[in-house]
């Protein structure tokens, strides 16, 4: 990192955190190498299907089980990236500078407070975005082989976050919120906790409501006892399924098998219904969530510079 043609406070920031920057780069390249090797291994052994159409894999030769396991771990690991970025920016990069008083040394070197903060945000943003892009490429490489299978559907948390713009937006949010927390709270651990909590609450909140952004597709069909006649398309996210009563009311659930009849036998059932989001809804939902997260990130970044100017004019 130190060999790059950088100047002023940006060069100082890169030198100061060069070990962390190299670690992030190595982790991203390492993930790409692992997925790439497993993908090549898997490609060497073509699919062998049984007479009934099921995929038959040799666990000792085929790389598919290993690739799938790596992708499942990948899907879980990427969820922690925004937290790690927020923790590092809020704590070691900003709050610790105030807690230790080292920021005063930077401000005596003909560096304005705005330039000091801008250099830190630039280094953090460029590094994390570069790493995220590499990880996205690695994930897409593996997902092309094992995607659209159990726990690796486009609507699952991991693929939804990585295969698109959502992870990038959360990374920018983490940088902005981390900087704001560090400027407001000059205690390293407290600032890290506050930034991580905010990013976590935002992620969980949007995860809970993201499938409410668009109106789901509803299909109906004949009510058949002890069976569901409705099938969603492959890869679709099923939201709700149940019965439609004679008066138009919906009853969640479908048919009971205990007595061999339909649930709520005391009321006439006219049809079944199924609500789902098709795969075509994934990209618009991702763009909407990305816009929301980027708006919050922009507000956090604006607030960070306002706090800096107010406290260090």
Task: Judge whether residue 263 has pLDDT over 80.
Answer: no
Q: Tell me which range, 90-104, 134-148, 256-270, is most confidently predicted by mean pLDDT.
A: 134-148
- With cut-offs at 50, 70 and 90, classify the pLDDT of residue 186: confident
Which residue, 22, 21, 43, 27, is CA-closest to 145? Answer: 43
Q: Tell me which range, 14-28, 75-89, 238-252, 261-275, is most confidently predicted by mean pLDDT.
A: 75-89
What pLDDT digit, counting tens, does each position of 129-172 carry?
999 999 999 999 988 888 877 778 889 988 999 998 999 999 99
Rounded to 10 deg, the angle between the 8-16 and 18-43 helix axes is 70
Work out the mean pLDDT of the chain and round it to a whole number: 83
What pLDDT digit, counting tens, does each position of 297-310 carry?
999 999 999 998 88
Stronger pLDDT, 59 or 73, i.e. the higher one = 73
- Alpha-carbon distance of 117 to 154, in angstroms, equals 37
Buried b (16+ CB within 10 A) or exposed e, 44-53: eeeeeeeeee
Task: Judge whether residue 238 has pLDDT over 60.
Answer: yes
Q: What is the mean pLDDT of residues 112-137?
A: 90
Stronger pLDDT, 15 or 265, i.e. the higher one = 15
- With cut-offs at 50, 70 and 90, classify the pLDDT of residue 261: very low
Residue 311's pLDDT is 78
- With cut-offs at 50, 70 and 90, classify the pLDDT of residue 3: very low
- Alpha-carbon distance of 89 to 98, in angstroms, equals 13
Q: What is the mean pLDDT of residues 168-181?
A: 95
Q: What is the mean pLDDT of residues 97-105?
A: 74
Q: Tell me which range, 58-62, 225-229, 244-248, is most confidently predicted by mean pLDDT.
A: 244-248
Residue 221's pLDDT is 82
Residue 1's pLDDT is 44
Task: Judge whether residue 73 has pLDDT over 70.
Answer: yes
Q: What is the mean pLDDT of residues 178-200?
A: 93
Residue 40's pLDDT is 87
Q: Tell me which range, 29-43, 61-75, 102-116, 145-159, is most confidently predicted by mean pLDDT.
A: 29-43
Residue 171's pLDDT is 95
């Amino acid at each position: 990192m130190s060999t790059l043609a950088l100047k002023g406070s940006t060069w100082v920031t890169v030198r100061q955190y060069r070990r962390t920057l190299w670690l992030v780069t190595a982790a991203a390249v390492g993930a790409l190498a692992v997925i790439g090797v497993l993908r090549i291994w898997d490609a060497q052994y073509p699919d062998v299907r049984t007479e009934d159409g099921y995929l038959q894999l040799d666990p000792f030769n085929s790389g598919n089980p290993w690739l799938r396991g790596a992708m499942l771990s990948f899907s879980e690991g990427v969820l922690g990236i925004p937290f790690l970025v927020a923790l590092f920016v809020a704590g070691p990069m900003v709050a610790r500078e105030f807690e230790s008083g080292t920021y005063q040394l930077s401000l005596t070197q003909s560096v304005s407070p705005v330039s000091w903060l801008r250099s830190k945000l630039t280094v953090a943003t460029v590094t994390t975005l570069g790493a995220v892009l590499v990880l996205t490429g690695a994930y897409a490489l593996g997902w092309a082989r094992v995607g659209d299978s159990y726990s690796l559907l486009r609507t699952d948390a991991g693929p939804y976050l990585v295969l698109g713009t959502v992870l990038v937006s959360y990374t920018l949010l983490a940088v902005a919120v981390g900087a704001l927390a560090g400027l407001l709270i000059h205690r390293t651990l407290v600032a890290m906790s506050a930034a991580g909590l905010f990013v976590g609450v935002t992620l969980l909140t949007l995860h809970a409501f993201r499938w409410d952004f668009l109106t789901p597709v509803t299909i109906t069909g004949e009510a058949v006892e002890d069976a569901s006649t409705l099938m969603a398309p492959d890869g679709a996210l099923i939201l709700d399924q149940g019965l439609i009563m004679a008066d138009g009311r919906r009853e969640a659930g479908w048919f009971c098998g205990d007595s061999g009849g339909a649930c709520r036998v005391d009321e006439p059932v006219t049809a079944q219904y199924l609500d789902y989001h098709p795969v075509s809804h994934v990209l618009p939902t991702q763009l909407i969530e990305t816009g929301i997260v980027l708006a919050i990130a922009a507000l956090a970044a604006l607030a960070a510079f306002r706090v800096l100017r107010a406290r260090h004019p």
